[in-house]
Amino acid sequence: MSTRANIELYDGVHRGVMLYHHCDGYPSWMGPELERKLKQAQAGLDEAGYPYWWDSERVGALIVKLSANESDLHKNVPTFQPCLNQHGDIEYLWRVYLGPGNGEYEIQCFRVSWDWEKGAIKRLDKVDWKEEGEL
């Protein structure tokens, strides 16, 4: 069974971009993967000569691009996908706050509890993804 997740990218306090990942949304995989993708995105911006464009739209686009071609299974289809709304089947919600400086970020993880009757999130429980990832 897949562990689905949404990833919200924030510029300061405003959410700019939302991504969806169909599997591996659990802390021990997604946390390190987000760190890896953020470092790759920063390196791509630096290489292109745009180190000052550390914003949710550009970083989100790079994460989607970087997630294509990562395995033979997906055949050029990105594993991180842009989306408009939270998916109704996610188990984790990830929030990435991009800092004012190039490459600065903070990653937060929440376990999602659903109110299935209302089709909405009932509760978010913060997860120490670094601690949980070490188990």
pLDDT in tens, 50-90: 877 888 999 999 999 999 977 666 678 899 999 998 888 89
Do 28 and 132 touch, CB atoms closer than 8 A?
Answer: yes
Residue-wise over 71-93: b if at least 16 C-beta within 10 A, else e? eeeeeeebbbeeeeeeeeebbbb
Residue 121's pLDDT is: 85
Residue 135's pLDDT is: 44
Residue 71's pLDDT is: 65
Q: Taking residues 19-37, what's their average pLDDT?
A: 94
Q: Taking residues 88-113, what's their average pLDDT?
A: 92
Residue 134's pLDDT is: 53
pTM: 0.90
Mean pLDDT score of the chain, rounded to an integer? 88
By CB neighbour count within 10 A (0-12 exposed, 13-18 middle, 19+ buried), where does 12 fall? exposed
Residue 69's pLDDT is: 74
Residue 131 confidence (pLDDT) above 50: yes
Residue 133's pLDDT is: 58
Residue 31 confidence (pLDDT) above 90: yes
Residue 51's pLDDT is: 76
